[in-house]
Amino acid sequence: MDARWSVEVYHREVKQNCGIERCQARTSRAQRYHIFLAISVWFEQHKRRI
């Protein structure tokens, strides 16, 4: 149960803080890059908070 909740929190934080849903990329490659970079930035911010 704890693992599921942590995944939910992760998804909520990524959506709210990284702006993945606001991506205006047209190609799938550009979308993948955008998502990868957004999650990478979120991860770095998360590491610094800890």
pTM for this prediction: 0.63
pLDDT digits (tens, 9 = 90+) for 14-48: 788 777 778 888 999 999 998 898 889 888 988 88
**According to the model, what pLDDT value does residue 38 have?**
86
Q: What is the pLDDT of residues 1-22, one digit of tens each?
A: 688 888 888 888 878 877 777 8
* Three-class DSSP category at 27: coil
d(CA 42, CA 17): 7
Quote the Cα angle for 35-10-12, to 5°: 80
Q: What is the pLDDT of residue 30?
A: 92
Q: What percent of the chain has pLDDT over 90?
A: 12
Instruction: Write phi, then psi, for 42 (nearest 5 degrees).
Output: -60, -40
Chain position carrying tokens 């998502």: 35
